[in-house]
C-alpha cells in the first residue's frame, strides 16, 4: 500500500495556513475593537471640551454626526470580521478532521505492516527451528 506522508504533509500545511488566516482575522478584530473604543473615548473628550469652551460647542454636532458615521462603519466591519472568523473556524475544523483522517489511516497501515513483518519473521524462525529439529531427529 502506498504511503500517505505526502498527503498528510499537504493537509498539515493547509491546516497551518488556515490557522494563520484565522489568527490574522482575530488580530483585525482586535484592531477594530480598539478603534471603536478609541473613537468612543475621543467623542467623550470632545464633549468635555465643548462643555468647557463655548466656541467648540458650535462644531460639536457636526463632529458627533461624523463620529457616529465612523463608528457605524467600524461596527459593520467588526460584524463582517466576526462572520469571517466563524467561517474560518469551521474551515480550520474541517481541515483538522481531514488531516486526522489521513493520519489515522497511515497509522493503521503502519500497524498492519508491522504485524505482517512480525508474522513473517515468526514464520521464518519457526521454519529454522523446525529444520533444526528435523536434523537433530535424523542424527
Q: What is the 3-state secondary structure (H, E, C) of 9-73?
A: HHHHHHHHHHHHHHHHHHHHHHHHHHHHHHHHHHHHHHHHHHHHCHHHHHHHHHHHHHHHHHHHH
> Is residue 111 one of the residues assigned to a domain?
no
Query: pTM of the full predicted structure?
Result: 0.75
Q: Alpha-carbon distance 128 to 139, whole Å?
A: 17
Query: What is the per-residue pLDDT for 51?
Result: 81
Question: Domain limits at 30?
Answer: 5-106
95 CB contacts (<8 Å, ≥6 apart)?
11, 14, 15, 18
Per the structure, the count of domains in the chain is 1
Q: Is residue 128 part of a domain?
A: no
As a whole number, mean pLDDT of residues 71-83 equals 97
Domain-embedded: residue 127: no
- 35-44 pLDDT, tens digit per residue, is 999 999 999 9
If pLDDT is split at 50, 70 and 90, which confidence band does 3 have?
confident
Q: Is residue 24 part of a domain?
A: yes
Longest Cα separation, the chain: 123
Where does the pLDDT of residue 58 fall: very low under 50, low under 70, confident under 90, or very high at 90 and above?
confident
Q: Give pLDDT tens digits for 14-31.
A: 999 999 999 999 999 999
The reported pLDDT for the residue numbered 138 is 87
User: Is residue 115 in some structural domain?
Assistant: no
Q: Is residue 137 included in any domain, yes or no?
A: no
Report the pLDDT value the prediction gives residue 29, as an integer from 0 to 100.
98
122 falls within a domain:
no
Q: How far apart are alpha carbons 137 and 131 in whole angstroms? A: 10
Contact 41, 67 (CB under 8 A): no
Amino acid at each position: 500500500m502506498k504511503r500517505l506522508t505526502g498527503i498528510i504533509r499537504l493537509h498539515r500545511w493547509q491546516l497551518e495556513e488556515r490557522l494563520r488566516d484565522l489568527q490574522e482575522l482575530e488580530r483585525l478584530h482586535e484592531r477594530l475593537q480598539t478603534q471603536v473604543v478609541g473613537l468612543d473615548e475621543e467623542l467623550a473628550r470632545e464633549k468635555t471640551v465643548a462643555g468647557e469652551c463655548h466656541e467648540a460647542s458650535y462644531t460639536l454636532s457636526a463632529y458627533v454626526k461624523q463620529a457616529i458615521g465612523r463608528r457605524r462603519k467600524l461596527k459593520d466591519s467588526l460584524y463582517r470580521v466576526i462572520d469571517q472568523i466563524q467561517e474560518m473556524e469551521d474551515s480550520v475544523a474541517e481541515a483538522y478532521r481531514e488531516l486526522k483522517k489521513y493520519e489515522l489511516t497511515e497509522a493503521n497501515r503502519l500497524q498492519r505492516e508491522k504485524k505482517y513483518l512480525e508474522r513473517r519473521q515468526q514464520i521464518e524462525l519457526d521454519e529454522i527451528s523446525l529444520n533444526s529439529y528435523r536434523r537433530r531427529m535424523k542424527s
